[in-house]
């Protein structure tokens, strides 16, 4: 499984999350503590927001710990909203287009988890996309396809509903293919204004997710695992939760798509 970190608040240097902390995202790329595998070496990426609506994006296939450009960019780029990800592949090729975050217009998205049985339902899910969204697919990852499904389900107007409906599509496709629905979804996404996250799994065993205030209250982080334990109070996001973070507040509500509940009930 992958590791990721997102930040919203006053502008800080990217390195303050990616590289500087004692258990930074770069450290987690080779020594994760709460992942199935401690090594996340199949590429990395950062999406950050500045003065323009669309985010900047930097991705590569190198392990995050070995890319000196990432550290250099982190020392120079400041942002009040960014998403950063280190990848441990669950089957997709190691290529730049398969590295998170994925971007479409002003939206960015990153994911830790997987769609079980993806090879058996991928075609059905792709066929459910509009021609425009299908043409936007660049890689082969289940994560990117899920992001495109969210866009098609009205992400720009209804983030919670879009994730719920995309989840339902995956579960329905699995049921039609006569396989047990299996989705692990710990993801973050943003339009450059609000930061959203979801922690959900059909088996109630979703990858971890935490949130905490940043130093001196300048903003908040939401992360796969804490990047330090030095006086900061981390709060675990419960299973089946949807998080919306703005500059003024953070809300957490239950995430339980109707079709998912039916599938789990048998």
Domain of 122 in residue numbering reads as 3-265
- Sign, CA torsion 52/55/59/64: positive
Q: Which of 1, 2, 145, 188 is catalytic?
A: 2
- Residue 187's nearest CA partner among 78, 113, 95, 89 is 113
- The Cα–Cα gap between 210 and 5 comes to 9
pLDDT in tens, the chain (266 residues): 799 999 999 999 999 999 999 999 999 999 888 887 788 888 899 999 999 999 999 999 989 999 999 999 999 999 999 999 998 866 666 789 999 999 999 999 999 999 999 999 999 999 999 999 999 999 999 999 999 999 999 999 999 999 999 999 999 999 999 999 999 999 999 999 999 999 999 999 999 999 999 877 799 999 999 998 776 799 999 999 999 999 999 999 999 887 655 544 44
- The Cα–Cα gap between 257 and 164 comes to 5
> For the sheet containing 250-254, what is the strand order?
102-104, 107-115, 183-190, 195-201, 241-245, 250-254
Angle between helix axes 142-152 and 118-127 (nearest 10 degrees) is: 30
Residue 99 annotated among the catalytic residues of the structure = no
β-bridge partners, 114? 184
pTM: 0.94
Q: How many domains does the chain have?
A: 1
- The Cα–Cα gap between 68 and 60 comes to 12
CATH of the domain at 30: 3.60.20.10
Given a contact cutoff of 8 angstroms between Cβ atoms, the answer to whether 24 and 7 are in contact is: no
């Amino acid at each position: 499984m992958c590791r990721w970190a997102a930040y919203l608040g006053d502008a800080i240097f990217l390195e303050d999350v990616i590289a500087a902390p004692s258990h930074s995202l770069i450290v987690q790329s080779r020594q994760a503590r709460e992942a199935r595998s401690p090594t996340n070496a199949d590429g990395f990426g950062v999406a950050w927001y500045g003065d323009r609506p669309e985010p900047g994006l930097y991705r590569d296939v190198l392990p995050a710990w070995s890319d000196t450009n990432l550290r250099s960019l982190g020392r120079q780029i400041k942002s009040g909203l960014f998403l950063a990800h280190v990848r441990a592949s669950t089957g997709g090729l190691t290529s730049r287009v398969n590295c998170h975050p994925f971007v479409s217009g002003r939206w960015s998205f990153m994911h830790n988890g997987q769609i079980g049985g993806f090879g058996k339902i991928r075609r059905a899910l792709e066929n459910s996309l509009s021609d425009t969204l299908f043409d936007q697919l660049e890689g082969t990852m289940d994560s990117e396809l899920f992001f495109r499904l969210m866009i098609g389900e009205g992400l720009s107007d209804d983030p919670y509903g879009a994730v719920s409906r995309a989840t339902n599509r995956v579960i329905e496709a699995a049921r039609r293919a006569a396989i047990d629905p299996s989705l692990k979804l710990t993801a973050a996404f943003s339009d450059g204004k609000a930061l959203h996250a979801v922690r959900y799994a059909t088996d109630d065993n979703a990858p971890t997710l935490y949130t905490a205030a940043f130093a001196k209250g300048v903003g908040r982080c939401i992360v796969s695992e804490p990047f330090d334990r030095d006086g900061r109070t981390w709060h675990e996001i419960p299973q089946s939760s949807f998080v919306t973070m703005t500059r003024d507040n953070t809300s957490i509500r239950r995430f339980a798509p109707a079709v998912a509940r039916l599938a789990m009930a048998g």
